[in-house]
Amino acid sequence: MLGKVNFGSLYSAAVNQAQQNQQAQQNQQKQDLIRRNYNEIYSHEMAHKAAGGPLAGNIVIERNDEGIPVSGHVAIKMPSIDPENPQKAIDDANIVIMAALAPSDPSDQDYKVAAQARTIKSQAQGMLHGDKGKKLNIMA
């Protein structure tokens, strides 16, 4: 006696299995993308944090609606110039410059932060040298 074969249910099962396989592959690709993006962003931001030392804040990684890491940042304390101690601003500006340019692939924002720190450093150097010049002029 021959058994009945329902081709519709065989086809349906095959389609269902193919869809599950495709979904599993898409999930794996998404997980790979999340891991790859996270590692790249974390490495970049960790370079800032390590070089920034006590002037650097925590690493923040931004994710899109699908949970995929898309960007990151590390806050850094920009030096302020104390007329009584411009050398501290120079030293801190040097740290900020190194931190901004620490990653192997600095972003446009990283270059802007370094430029801002260079401006502060230049102003502090002017104060430092200006004060020394005034002292020399007084003695002359």
Give the pLDDT band (50/70/90) at residue 136: very low
Task: Kindly report, residue by residue over 56-110, the tens digit of the pLDDT.
Answer: 999 999 999 999 999 999 999 999 999 999 999 999 999 999 999 999 999 999 9
* Residue 113 scores a pLDDT above 60: yes
**Predicted TM-score of the model (pTM):** 0.77
The whole-number pLDDT of residue 7 equals 63
The whole-number pLDDT of residue 139 equals 45
- 36 Cβ neighbours under 8 A, 6+ residues apart: none
The whole-number pLDDT of residue 19 equals 82
- Of 15-19, 118-122, 132-136, least confident by mean pLDDT is 132-136
What letter represents residue 23's amino acid? Q
Task: Kindly report, residue by residue over 37-66, the tens digit of the pLDDT.
Answer: 999 999 999 999 999 999 999 999 999 999
Burial class (CB in 10 A: 0-12, 13-18, 19+), 94: middle
